[in-house]
Structure 1
């Protein structure tokens, strides 16, 4: 499947990418190759093949999430060490390090 430059520019804008002309051409080539491979996979006859969604046979390999009554998990920090670490931060509030917001409000 071939992609045109207009489609590549649209995809780049959706991904918030500013591509040079050379980068756009490279992306066009690479995406066309990927879509060609996917087209080949779509043409594979899978009739009679049972769908596979996992291979290990394990049902649930994760443990139960049971936090202790204290609510801090199994991590207990030495208060003296905590004070030293927080003390090195340029901006702090009580026992927390303050950082600049990265989210727009």
Structure 2
């Protein structure tokens, strides 16, 4: 894909949730792309922590187009994703080919 050709690893995630007054409210967050599941690009400390915990890494036997990104459970985007009822869109701007990838 074009994503493998770009050094840019950030993308926008958009959601729409209902506000406390029941009004649709858009949210956009910038996230760090970690690769495709089941083999995301992890930092060396993350790899070491998984190996030391006995969990280990996912086997390199599957291939998918499912995006992988990480975040902190305390961040607003977690609640936005959970409350979006499936209304989520991600978009990359791939400057090298002057194209959006959704």
Under TM normalisation by the shorter chain, which class is it?
under 0.3
Q: Which has the higher contact order (CA 8 A, sep 6+)?
A: 2
- Tell which structure's C-alpha radius of gyration is larger: 1
More helix by share: 1
TM-score with structure 1 length normalisation? 0.20
Structure (1 or 2) with the greater strand fraction: 2
